[in-house]
C-alpha cells in the first residue's frame, strides 16, 4: 500500500513542479524581453513535458529504461484515444473548424521515424541525434510559420503575453524565483519517487516495468493533458484540443526519447515491436479523417476512442498475466 501512496505522491509532485516551472520560466523570459511567441513555442512546450522528460532521464540513470519507453509509447496512445475521446463524450469537438494538416503530417512522419529506429533494437547516441535533428526541423518550421502569420500585425506586448500559458505580466520577481526553485527541486524528486515505486509495484505484482510504464506511469502523466482538453472541449476550443495532442505526441517521440537516449541507451523490448508501437501508430492514423476530411469528433466517436483505450490497457494487462 505504501508504494502506491509514494507512487501517487511522486506523480502529484511531478505535475505541480512542472506547472510551477512553466509559470516561472514563462514570466522570467517575458521579463527579460524574450518575445511571447518564442516562449510559447519553446519554454511552454518543454515545460509541460518536463514530467515525462524527468521520468525518462531518471529511468535511464536507474537502469530501468523500459519505464521510459513505456511512458512515451503509452502516453502517445492515451493522448489520442483517451485525451481526445473522453472530452468528446462531454461535448462534440468541432475539429472541422481546425487546420492541423501540416502538423499532423509532421506527427505521422515522427511516428514512422520512431518506429523505424525502434527496429534497430535500441535508442542510442546516433538514434537520439536523428530524433533531435527532426525536432529541430519541426521547431524551425513552426518559428517560420508563426513569424509569417504575425508579420505586420500590430499587437501590444501585454496582449501577446496574455496568449501564453502561465503568463502574468504583473508577477513579482520573488514569485518568479519561488516558482523556478519549486520546479527545479520538485521535478527530480517526483521523478525519482515515481520511477522507484513504480518499479517496486512491477516486482510485487509480477509484471514487467514495460507494462507499468505503458499503463500506470503513462496514464498518470497524461492526466494534465486530459484536464486541459476537457476544459477546452467544454469551451468549444477544438483547435486547442487537437493541436495540444498532436504537439505533445510529436514532442514525446522526438525530444523525450532523444534527450534520454543521449544520457544512456534505451533498449527496445520485444513486446513493443510486436504490439505496442503498432497500436500507437494505428491510433495516430485514426486521426486522419478528422484532420483531412474535417470530421467532427462526436459523442459516438468519443465513446469509441475511450473504449478502445481501455480495451488496449486490458490487453496489455492480460498479456502480462499470461506471461
**pLDDT, average across residues 73-98:** 87
Q: Are 275 and 284 in contact (CB under 8 A)?
A: no
**The pLDDT value given to residue 110:** 96
End-to-end, the C-alpha distance of the chain in Å comes to 24
pLDDT in tens, 108-158: 999 999 999 999 999 999 999 999 999 999 888 877 776 665 554 444 444
**The pLDDT value given to residue 90:** 87
pLDDT in tens, 158-207: 444 444 555 666 788 888 888 888 887 887 787 778 777 877 787 777 78
Residues constituting the chain: 323
Task: Walk me through the domains of the chain, giving residue ranges and CATH numbers.
Answer: 2-322 (1.20.1420.30)
- Report residue 48's pLDDT band, with 50, 70 and 90 as the boundaries: low
**pLDDT, average across residues 49-59:** 82
pTM of structure = 0.81
Alpha carbon of 190 to those of 48, 78, 164, 218: distances in Å? 15, 21, 26, 15
Q: Which class for 234: exposed (0-12), middle (13-18), buried (19 or more C-beta within 10 A)?
A: exposed
Amino acid at each position: 500500500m505504501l508504494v502506491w501512496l509514494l507512487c501517487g505522491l511522486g506523480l502529484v509532485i511531478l505535475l505541480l513542479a512542472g506547472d510551477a516551472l512553466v509559470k516561472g520560466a514563462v514570466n522570467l523570459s517575458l521579463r527579460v524581453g524574450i518575445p511571447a511567441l518564442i516562449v510559447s513555442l519553446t519554454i511552454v512546450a518543454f515545460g509541460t513535458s518536463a514530467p515525462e522528460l524527468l521520468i525518462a532521464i531518471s529511468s535511464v540513470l536507474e537502469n530501468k529504461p523500459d519505464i521510459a519507453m513505456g511512458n512515451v509509447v503509452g502516453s502517445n496512445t492515451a493522448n489520442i484515444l483517451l485525451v481526445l475521446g473522453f472530452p468528446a463524450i462531454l461535448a462534440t469537438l468541432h475539429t472541422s473548424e481546425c487546420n492541423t494538416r501540416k502538423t499532423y503530417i509532421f506527427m505521422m512522419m515522427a511516428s514512422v521515424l520512431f518506429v523505424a529506429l525502434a527496429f534497430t533494437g535500441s535508442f542510442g547516441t546516433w538514434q537520439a541525434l536523428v530524433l533531435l535533428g527532426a525536432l529541430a526541423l519541426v521547431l524551425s518550421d513552426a518559428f517560420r510559420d508563426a513569424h509569417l502569420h504575425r508579420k505586420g500585425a500590430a499587437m501590444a506586448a501585454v496582449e501577446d503575453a496574455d496568449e501564453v500559458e502561465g503568463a502574468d505580466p504583473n508577477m513579482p520577481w520573488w514569485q518568479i524565483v519561488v516558482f523556478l526553485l519549486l520546479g527545479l527541486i520538485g521535478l527530480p524528486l517526483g521523478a525519482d519517487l515515481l520511477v522507484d515505486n513504480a518499479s517496486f509495484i512491477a516486482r510485487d505484482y509480477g509484471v514487467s516495468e514495460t507494462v507499468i510504464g505503458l499503463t500506470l506511469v503513462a496514464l498518470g502523466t497524461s492526466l494534465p493533458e486530459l484536464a486541459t482538453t476537457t476544459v477546452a472541449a467544454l469551451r468549444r476550443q477544438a483547435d486547442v484540443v487537437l493541436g495540444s495532442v498532436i504537439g505533445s505526441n510529436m514532442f514525446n517521440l522526438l525530444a523525450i526519447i532523444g534527450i534520454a537516449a543521449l544520457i544512456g541507451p534505451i533498449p527496445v523490448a520485444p513486446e513493443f515491436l510486436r504490439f505496442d508501437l503498432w497500436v500507437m501508430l494505428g491510433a495516430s492514423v485514426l486521426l486522419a479523417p478528422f484532420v483531412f476530411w474535417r470530421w467532427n469528433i462526436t459523442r459516438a466517436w468519443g465513446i469509441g476512442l475511450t473504449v478502445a483505450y481501455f480495451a488496449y490497457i486490458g490487453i496489455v494487462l492480460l498479456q502480462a498475466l499470461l506471461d
